[in-house]
Structure 1
């Protein structure tokens, strides 16, 4: 990147146990478990630490055909305090047969068995409490032995599950495996099922002779079973101390890729084995080469050794887990996850061997920290391996822009806890990227290494990680004092993001920086918004070659900050280039002008592609939020006529989609502008394509450009689509199949003739049941979603709502309504149609409360102008008290439309004035496409 980026001041071994003696069994009846709090693990009641596990001896005997198993576990214990109780996790799905507790009392050579005087299972908490007949003193050692029976899961890939698949030779093959994350170990065997209770495992399993068994450690020995000629018992070597959720097991008819990979970085030294179906060996061979690349990157990190001698990579065709089972020393993938060309997911799973296996979050409240660090390092590894080709090199834009939209809402996440956790993890992932920039790569890497070294075999909370990063930064930068924990918490503790505003004072070459809550959704009335402050790294690039040294702070930790010695009035400043901190930046009008001017001339490369994308994305979103004039935002797009880099184009399409929904009254002018902006790049790529000289990035960019040109009414696109579509219309039996690409549907339905649209409608009505119904769904989506004239919309409404054509299901009506929500002409026509046919439609649909509410919501919720507000008010007045369950929807719609009207009144005149000037200056004649 040309130009300069400146950081302002910169910145136990388990004791062997014997089989239990016969005692009176304690039988627990199996009951269903309440999983309603599955997404709130952090709120789960924790076990007392009065008794601690020091080792497990676990034996499982699956009866695969019946999908059940017998089990035995001996858990070595140490008493951490005086108590007469032992509490374990155990699912009600397990049936406990026998329980024995033994302790080694002072001066005793043999363990003494204790009488269990009470058993208290808690199905809701999935725990069982055993009370023994005496108080056991602190530091006593003992063992609790349990025999039990369980059922394999056959409908999901959780706990101990069984699944089958057909081989290419049409032979049924069986897989038995485990997925114990996050707290499914208790569903398989009684245990201390919390991350903090790490202990070694001795595991054995009974398997069919012709099947392979894999676990965390390599096989130690195999023993024959008397009277069982077709099965053997396989013992695995003792594991290092590990959390229960990292325990893994696979029993399957799989083979090993003939050549293994050795990983030796001077500290770790283990072999990597690849397992799967015989038919899958070619893909596994490619996976092997990718793993080698990932390991080479990890080798550069100089991390501590893993205490394992092997790592098994297993591909299963029917593993249904949402994510791979990343057990320590054993990673189970679904085959489809290994079929892609990328490295990120592979890197994530391998990194989990250190961050998750060797070092583990102490509780679920810190899991998102671990996930975020793994996520960032995996992306970094992928970029180092293939120069950022994965995700088209668009990370962090791929995740950052969605954060901007979510956190700028008045009510982020819509109170969906699962989404909130995912968003939080993504934000922290970007914070790690920020720290890598601002602390420096050396300090950041050393901090992560220190963290792994000091917490190996242990657990951690987030504070320890921040302290490690802070300590390593202090070693490299002894003259600079920061507190990484304070910085991190200022971002993590708020479900929000800040925005920065730079106001320059050109007469004395100073600038004032202000930070505040970034809100895109109106109204901006979030409580305590004025009290929110983030620690923001002040990083800057400028349009000359002068270095910029501040004389004050490097981090903005207050609402205002003064920059001294800014450049002269002809040189732009860009704050937060490269999206180093996740926050948008606004400027005074002149600085925006300087940036726009620079981008339009030969100095465009003073800003990197990611920085050019940032200023463009910031300008549009700040204008949308009411923080910037749309005239300025539109000026920022003029350089796109000369822009070549695909990363810069990426935010353009989202912006067009967002704004196009609000400019219906001036849509023809807006479309003419869009065509003039997109055409130069599209035509250049079309010419290159003739010589077959396009990169994958350019191919994808050309496809996006074409899609949006088609939406805007680009005539060559429409003509091409109609020519191709005509082949289908001329087909002898058009209902037997579609001979043309689906991408031609929308341009034809949006801009084509009534005859062409009617043909598509008949294909939906006459769609044969023998064909894939997903094809019909896509056809109906485009048929309803690519409409802009009232005649076609009314025709569709007559058939579906009034005539009740039997070819359209209730789900079809929901789909049509969803598509109408994106078109002002469609939802306006829908409202008028409901109003004109109120009695019939209300009688037919108001008893179907979900569909009725959906219809009313689509018809009333999306208007942005005074004219639309009047339509909704008229409908409410005419039928007050008749909306039933949808009454509140209309009231809420009116409230929201009032806000949108203010936005439209403020911005549409400015946009239209700018468009008029732009179109006139460029000699562009606007053809009206307004429908009646």
Structure 2
């Protein structure tokens, strides 16, 4: 019996046993020793000799209330540049429940030819599915036809939420979550940022009480069958796969509220500053090697810092320039096609900015934003006063990067015109000093200085004792609303941060917080609540560990980090009962927070320092 016959009999056995299922042209794995060496996938990037030109995607979304199924078909129009026997695509084999290879088609001398792979191999480390054909494929244009099915099992690939809209209706929302590598969980594709192309999107859904949104406006209905409606959207501009979006929601209304814009600052921007401190938060733009690194980049911190940086760009240039720049980027502009996505965005905004009436001579949007997206952490502005002179020093936290400009804005009550916190006039007043620069102001000791109007800049401000005292005195004695609520919140948040860092005196911080007895805005109170939550981890409970377990329920990384360090301290250790509470709470923290990548990384990196002594002493004795 030949080796091939043995392979085929084994394959038939698997099929009959129900351990392997596929249709007539479905993708499957076999060991073909003749072709195995040809299917070696080297490196972390897909080959350059094949690239997509256009995608036609048909999606059918089912069951918005429970586990959502996504069925569909995809035609990838692609070009092969040089002879090849392999086609490699990104795919997450663990989540694609069904995949059928319907043929690779091309026209040759006015005849349509169809090819099918003879073998396929999956490389889990790289999320690559490699298909091999019997003969080499000639250079030319091809259409790759696939059908697929995805069933939501663990919220990977889909985002689901609900909220109350402005009309008071409960709104349910399900979105295809293609960031960062979600699209390969639905179907195989050229899922890399450099492969940008156009998309023709068709979506079928249960249309009763629901609205479907995608990247572009709808062209119209393709079909209606029972309660299933198929909508076609305008072809997109050239984008990478992870920019494709589809959102299905009920009771659709727009939500416009100044309150939510302010809430974003205290809940997202300030939270991002807390994460982007001593604990390592990777830069927004980071070189990656394997899929797991992509996931770590698109972590919770990514979704906090990225919008904070974009808000900074929007407000320092003006909303009008920012919106026109985004529209320019989204338009069909061939001059932007050969750029990376982020460079194309900066170039589009630069073009609008250069023709505006508020242009700062020589300002490069790309150079400015590269520092914010490619560097870790953030700058700190230090404000000190000596007699009638105020010194503003821009420092970098933990890196040596010098070519880093900040949007510097200031308000003071020295005269009625300089205490303007308006965003309308801000783009005309903003300056862009570099890290390391010093600014000097003639300043009267009876007035206050506030840097970073409405906290548009992604940085902290460290005021000295004199400056904080002037702000505190004003907030207690005058109308607090003369200082914008976002700056009131910022001053509390920054002062608490530098108090914890032992750079601000406790009495100075407490004097600042006295004004809160007349504060009625939740936005200004929010950073104080976060501070109290943080401080609660330092209270020691002598009773049962139930209270300790309760504190460990916090989702705040910094609270848990300090809590772990507190429970292992000498003050917490009880020689009589050993440190059973330490062991108990440590295990509970690990159990509860192990799925949090940030928390898990901290625990693993600092295990020797934070592990309970009693537990490991006993283990050592047992091993001995």
- What is the alpha-carbon distance in structure 1 between the residues aligned to residue 411 and residue 151 of structure 2? 57
Whether contact under 8 Å (2:97, 2:150) holds in the other structure is no
- Corresponding residue for 1:534? 404
Whether contact under 8 Å (1:90, 1:128) holds in the other structure is no
Residue from 97, 106, 109 that aligns with 1:103 = 106
- Corresponding residue for 1:400? 269
Structure 1 position 591, deviation (Å): 2.2
Q: Deviation per CA, 1:485-522, whole angstroms, max 9, x where unpaired?
A: 22212122223122110223444x453423231xxxxx
Q: Is the alpha carbon distance of 1:46 and 1:248 closer, same or farther for their aligned partners in structure 2, counting shifts above 3 Å?
A: farther
Question: What are the residue-to-residue correspondences of 1:551-700 with 2, within 5 Å?
Answer: 554-564=431-441, 566-659=442-535, 661-662=537-538
Structure 1 position 607, deviation (Å): 1.1
- What is the alpha-carbon distance in structure 1 between the residues aligned to residue 475 and residue 309 of structure 2? 29
Structure 1 position 573, deviation (Å): 1.2
Q: Is the alpha carbon distance of 1:186 and 1:94 closer, same or farther for their aligned partners in structure 2, counting shifts above 3 Å?
A: farther
Q: Is the alpha carbon distance of 1:563 and 1:329 closer, same or farther for their aligned partners in structure 2, counting shifts above 3 Å?
A: farther
SS in 2 for 1:593: helix
Q: Is the alpha carbon distance of 1:421 and 1:532 closer, same or farther for their aligned partners in structure 2, counting shifts above 3 Å?
A: farther
Choose 1 or 2 for highest CA Rg. Answer: 1
Whether contact under 8 Å (1:56, 1:75) holds in the other structure is yes
- Corresponding residue for 2:346? 466
SS in 1 for 2:268: helix
Residue from 306, 328, 336 that aligns with 2:217 = 306
Q: Is the alpha carbon distance of 1:586 and 1:136 closer, same or farther for their aligned partners in structure 2, counting shifts above 3 Å?
A: same
Residue from 178, 181, 190 that aligns with 1:181 = 178
Q: Name whichever structure is richer in helix by fraction.
A: 1
Structure 1 position 190, deviation (Å): 5.9
Structure 1 position 595, deviation (Å): 1.5
- What is the alpha-carbon distance in structure 2 between the residues aligned to residue 439 and residue 158 of structure 1? 36
Q: Deviation per CA, 1:422-448, whole angstroms, max 9, x where unpaired?
A: 313322212222222211222112111
- Corresponding residue for 2:395? 515
- Corresponding residue for 1:441? 319
Structural RMSD (CA): 5.5
- What is the alpha-carbon distance in structure 2 between the residues aligned to residue 813 and residue 568 of structure 1? 50
Q: Is the alpha carbon distance of 1:328 and 1:81 closer, same or farther for their aligned partners in structure 2, counting shifts above 3 Å?
A: farther
Structure 1 position 535, deviation (Å): 1.5
- Corresponding residue for 1:214? none
- What is the alpha-carbon distance in structure 2 between the residues aligned to residue 68 and residue 639 of structure 1? 53
- Corresponding residue for 1:884? 619
Structure 1 position 192, deviation (Å): 4.7
- What is the alpha-carbon distance in structure 1 between the residues aligned to residue 187 and residue 364 of structure 2? 44
Task: Check if 1:502 corresponds to 2:386.
Answer: no
- What is the alpha-carbon distance in structure 2 between the residues aligned to residue 84 and residue 856 of structure 1? 51
Aligned pairs, number? 506
Q: Deviation per CA, 1:855-887, whole angstroms, max 9, x where unpaired?
A: 999xxxxxxxxxxxxxx9xx97xx898343799
Whether contact under 8 Å (1:180, 1:248) holds in the other structure is no
Structure 1 position 255, deviation (Å): 6.0
Whether contact under 8 Å (2:46, 2:88) holds in the other structure is no
- What is the alpha-carbon distance in structure 2 between the residues aligned to residue 308 and residue 431 of structure 1? 34
- What is the alpha-carbon distance in structure 2 between the residues aligned to residue 361 and residue 469 of structure 1? 17
Structure 1 position 484, deviation (Å): 1.4
Q: Is the alpha carbon distance of 1:647 and 1:852 closer, same or farther for their aligned partners in structure 2, counting shifts above 3 Å?
A: closer
Whether contact under 8 Å (1:30, 1:95) holds in the other structure is no
Ranges in structure 2 where 5+ consecutive residues have no aligned partner: 1-23, 31-42, 63-67, 159-173, 247-251, 283-291, 419-425, 555-559, 591-608
Whether contact under 8 Å (1:537, 1:581) holds in the other structure is yes
Q: Is the alpha carbon distance of 1:424 and 1:91 closer, same or farther for their aligned partners in structure 2, counting shifts above 3 Å?
A: closer
Q: Deviation per CA, 1:703-724, whole angstroms, max 9, x where unpaired?
A: xxxxxxxxxxxxxxxxxxxxxx
- Corresponding residue for 1:128? 130
- What is the alpha-carbon distance in structure 1 between the residues aligned to residue 57 and residue 216 of structure 2? 25
- Corresponding residue for 1:544? 414
Structure 1 position 606, deviation (Å): 2.9
Tell me the TM-score normalised to structure 1 length: 0.45
Task: Check if 1:423 corresponds to 2:163.
Answer: no
- Corresponding residue for 2:35? none
Residue from 445, 462, 484 that aligns with 2:365 = 484
- Corresponding residue for 1:338? none
SS in 2 for 1:394: helix
Whether contact under 8 Å (2:27, 2:120) holds in the other structure is no
Structure 1 position 83, deviation (Å): 4.3
Whether contact under 8 Å (2:58, 2:73) holds in the other structure is yes
Tell me the TM-score normalised to structure 2 length: 0.64
Q: Is the alpha carbon distance of 1:582 and 1:360 closer, same or farther for their aligned partners in structure 2, counting shifts above 3 Å?
A: farther
Residue from 575, 591, 599 that aligns with 1:835 = 575
Residue from 128, 151, 154 that aligns with 1:153 = 151
- Corresponding residue for 2:240? 362
- Corresponding residue for 1:699? none
